[in-house]
Amino acid sequence: MAFVYVFQSGDENLYKIGRTKSDVEKRRKDLSTGNPNPLKTYRVIETERDSLVENYLHKKFAGRLSRRSDAKEFYEIEQDELDRGLADTEEFMADYLPLLEEAEKLKGVDSNGRIIDPDREALAIYEDLQQVTARINTLAFEKTILENRLKKKIGECDGIEGVASWKTQISIRLNQDLLKQEQPDIFKQYQSESKQRTFRLV
């Protein structure tokens, strides 16, 4: 079993959110070294999905990420907002994790070719999913606009201190189309087959 922890920095509304597969108290002491304020254990969530729960909390409180220093995963949050967020997280995970595990099991099962008729529950879920998808798509456009505004501010520079970076990076990729065209035997030799179930709304 692993743990997701919330450590409070002194008496401030400044919290470290992280995870560990070892002793939480040892982790707290390790992180306290060099920290100007002592870290206190505020909340511990015991879970086998520590990476997922930590990631959920980080995204939930992304707007509260502290910019006081280079220290990572510290969030400036009012205590009541933090408590509500932790309660929401535990409630969400109680519903989400069993569904995730069931879906992961079904992902490895071959589909049988049948198309079943929708019942009322399936139609209701479908409508909710369509609405959520529409909101996500709208937010994606808004996110792109804000990112482009920052890119315009950055211009030809590498970034804005404490805000964003936009550095030139070089990546090397295999040109599969060219390899298939010029060396079809080699391309075929290194092909591998994979199987997965693909989910799509209709």
Residue 43's Cβ-count burial label (10 Å; 0-12, 13-18, 19+) is middle
The predicted structure's pLDDT at residue 201: 86
Instruction: Give the chain's mean pLDDT.
Output: 92
pLDDT higher than threshold 80 for residue 103? yes
pLDDT higher than threshold 90 for residue 198? no
Beta-strand (E) ranges in the chain?
A: 2-9, 14-20, 39-47, 74-76, 159-160, 164-165
pTM of the model: 0.72
The predicted structure's pLDDT at residue 108: 87
The predicted structure's pLDDT at residue 112: 93
Residue 121: what residue type? E
Give the model confidence (pLDDT) of 173-187 as tens digits: 999 999 999 999 999
Length of the chain: 202
Alpha-carbon span 16 to 40, nearest angstrom:
10
Contact 50, 19 (CB under 8 A): yes
Contact 7, 42 (CB under 8 A): yes
Give the model confidence (pLDDT) of 19-58 as tens digits: 999 899 999 998 888 777 889 999 999 999 999 999 999 9
The predicted structure's pLDDT at residue 69: 66
